[in-house]
Chain A
Amino acid sequence: MTALRKEADVAAVSGTSAIHVDGVAQVFRRGDAETRAIERIDLSIAAGEFVSVVGPSGCGKSTLMRIISGLLSPSQGRVLINGQAVKGPYTDLGIVFQQPVLLDWRSILGNVLLQVELRSQNPSEYAERGKALLEAVGLGDFHDRYPYELSGGMQQRAAICRALIHDPPLLLMDEPFGALDALTREQMRVDLEELWLSTRKTVVFITHSIDEAVLLSDRVVVMSPRPGRIERVIDIDLPRPRGLEARRSLRFTAIVEEITGIFLSRGLLRRGRSALAGTIPRR
């Protein structure tokens, strides 16, 4: 499989976006019932930084992402991107969801070009770039196929191309590898790192996988269960490119342990009573 690195040849390296999440809280109301989804989040993401948000299901990770993207306006607080307050959907970005959500009546290339069509740009001007992007993710021969002819992993690659076709400075990814099998997931993770290294876009990556977050990110934001708060922000100082090898480093293990420890202390994880219990030092 060709790596996403070729994206570098395709993309003129463009600007990146700095994000400030300023006292954001979200309450969902349904009738009289109130659900506090997230509670006062302050977070700054530097331009070109890769930041992951990990947390248990329902901790408001996706809500946070929707607020950053401007798709959801927060009950309190605000989001600034490059110093500008986000009001309404922010358009200078690419989004990848957990499901590829491709349109099944469009070819793979047609799906990638949907992004520029919706932006009222001429899709034929982007066709070459679209093909090159698909080539870079190993879908070169599939641009005229239809979504149902592709596996889940291939569809998700196409969805990533759709998020990159207009060369956005900011990439928001909401559990993009969540629906993939472990092997595909590992490959996608390695490819995403290469892509990021070559383009240095700002990436906000939502995941429930501690490993994935540590292997990809400059910083990992650990969230508590609902109402979601930032439990801790951990700098990941593993050298890059991390590829497949970083898993073997002691530093990686230590960081994963640290995050696991946070979840253990919150009762989100429980140590088993197997012989292995105790080999992990308690914190």
Chain B
Amino acid sequence: MTWRMQRLLAITRGWRDGIIGFAVLFTVWEISAHVFKIPKYILPPPTAIWADLMKRYPRMIDAAFATTSEIVLGFLIAIVVSIPLAIFVSYSRPIERMIFPILIALQIIPKIAIAPLFIVWFGFGMMPKLLLVFLLSFFPILVSSITGLKSVPTDILDLARSTGSSELMVFRKIRLPHSLPAIFTGLKVAATLATTAAIVAEFVASDKGLGYMLLEFNGNLETGMVFATVIGLSLIGIILYAMVEFVERNVVSRHVSQRDAPEKQQLLGS
């Protein structure tokens, strides 16, 4: 059996078990909702949520589009800013010493708490949402990129120096590929935070988006739709995460396969 087929098998096996897990969860939920006669505004059964969603999803599509664009744009800005900054910091110790305290202070400030301030500064449009998504996803990308870029073994850098190679070449051939797994770890953490940030920003002030709808449904005690919206938001988060992972698989396949090696052995052993 080829390596790829084994991998595929491993993934589908993971899915199969996951699907079984969810099926059990939903069944228990459905049954308890009926057996214990839980009011629908407190906890609607999954079938009721599904029925609500099917009835009213067109309105949600627009909202989902608004939210998704905030998430994706904010996330992209975070990537564009933090990776070059990480490269900059990894090359200069004085800059690192200067910038790091600021970054840590920024990270410690509960950014969600200053979200209302963004409204004062930037109004109700796209800007405050982008800013919050950016701020929340920026830090994990930066930190893991710096960690990756600075963890290149000294021996290999010494080897590179002994060839008289230019720093640009060393960066391209050694530093960057070496740090890609760490960078992607940061990207995946950031991807999950980006979704949270967009929803919070919409909670604070918005007239559209899934976060805004969530508040509206909640206010009307339309709990079924609240759940449906949460599912929609989760889907956006999962898709973003999956996209990052897809890129990772294609860009750093060798690292991944190396990391998967013990897992593969386990699979073969079982």
Measuring CB to CB, which residues of chain A are less than 8 angstroms from any residue of chain B? 66, 69-71, 89-91, 93, 95, 97, 99, 101, 103-106, 114-115, 117-120, 146, 148, 162
Q: Assuming the A-B contacts A103-B178, A104-B258, A114-B173, are A119 and B164 also in contact, with contact meaning beta carbons closer than 8 angstroms in the complex?
A: yes
CB-based contact A115/B177 at 8 Å: no
Minimal Cβ-Cβ distance residue in A for B252 = A105
Contacts of A101 in B (CB 8 A): 153, 155-156, 159
Contacts of A115 in B (CB 8 A): 159, 163
Contacts of A69 in B (CB 8 A): 158, 162
Q: Assuming the A-B contacts A89-B162, A120-B165, are A103 and B156 also in contact, with contact meaning beta carbons closer than 8 angstroms in the complex?
A: yes
Contacts of B170 in A (CB 8 A): 118
CB-based contact A95/B162 at 8 Å: yes
- B93 to chain A: closest CB distance in Å? 15
Q: Assuming the A-B contacts A95-B159, A101-B159, A103-B178, are A89 and B164 also in contact, with contact meaning beta carbons closer than 8 angstroms in the complex?
A: yes
C-alpha spacing A237/B169, complex, angstroms: 45
Per-position binary interface string of chain B over residues 28-57, scored 1 when its CB falls under 8 Å from any chain A CB and 0 otherwise: 000000000000000000000000000000
Q: Is the interface of A mostly helix, strand, loop or mixed?
A: loop
Contacts of B60 in A (CB 8 A): none
CB of B160 closer than 8 Å to a CB of A: yes
Further pairs besides A89-B161, A95-B159, A104-B258: 9, Cβ < 8 Å:
A71-B161, A91-B162, A95-B162, A103-B177, A104-B254, A118-B165, A119-B163, A146-B254, A162-B159
C-alpha spacing A104/B165, complex, angstroms: 20
Partner of B155, one of A93, A97, A117, A146: A97
Q: Is the interface of B mostly helix, strand, loop or mixed?
A: helix
Per-position binary interface string of chain B over residues 241-267, scored 1 when its CB falls under 8 Å from any chain A CB and 0 otherwise: 000000000001011011001000000
CB-based contact A119/B255 at 8 Å: no
- B250 to chain A: closest CB distance in Å? 13
CB-based contact B162/A93 at 8 Å: yes
Can you list 13 A-B pairs with a CB-CB distance of less than 8 A? Answer: A71-B161, A71-B162, A91-B162, A91-B163, A91-B164, A99-B153, A101-B153, A103-B178, A104-B255, A105-B177, A105-B254, A118-B160, A118-B170
Minimal Cβ-Cβ distance residue in B for A174 = B155
Q: Assuming the A-B contacts A101-B153, A103-B174, A119-B165, are A148 and B258 also in contact, with contact meaning beta carbons closer than 8 angstroms in the complex?
A: yes
Contacts of B261 in A (CB 8 A): 148
C-alpha spacing A48/B169, complex, angstroms: 32
Partner of A99, one of B155, B162, B252, B257: B155
Minimal Cβ-Cβ distance residue in A for B153 = A101
Among B155, B159, B173, B177, chain A packs the most CB atoms within 10 A around the CB of: B159
C-alpha spacing A70/B163, complex, angstroms: 11
Contacts of B169 in A (CB 8 A): 117-118, 120
Partner of B162, one of A90, A104, A105, A120: A90
Contacts of B165 in A (CB 8 A): 118-120
Minimal Cβ-Cβ distance residue in B for A115 = B163
Minimal Cβ-Cβ distance residue in A for B254 = A105
- B150 to chain A: closest CB distance in Å? 16
C-alpha spacing A147/B229, complex, angstroms: 47
- A106 to chain B: closest CB distance in Å? 8
CB neighbors of A among B122-159 (8 A):
153, 155-156, 158-159
Minimal Cβ-Cβ distance residue in B for A121 = B163
C-alpha spacing A115/B158, complex, angstroms: 12
Minimal Cβ-Cβ distance residue in B for A97 = B155
C-alpha spacing A162/B158, complex, angstroms: 14
CB neighbors of A among B169-210 (8 A):
169-170, 173-174, 177-178
Minimal Cβ-Cβ distance residue in B for A116 = B163
Contacts of A91 in B (CB 8 A): 162-164
C-alpha spacing A99/B173, complex, angstroms: 19
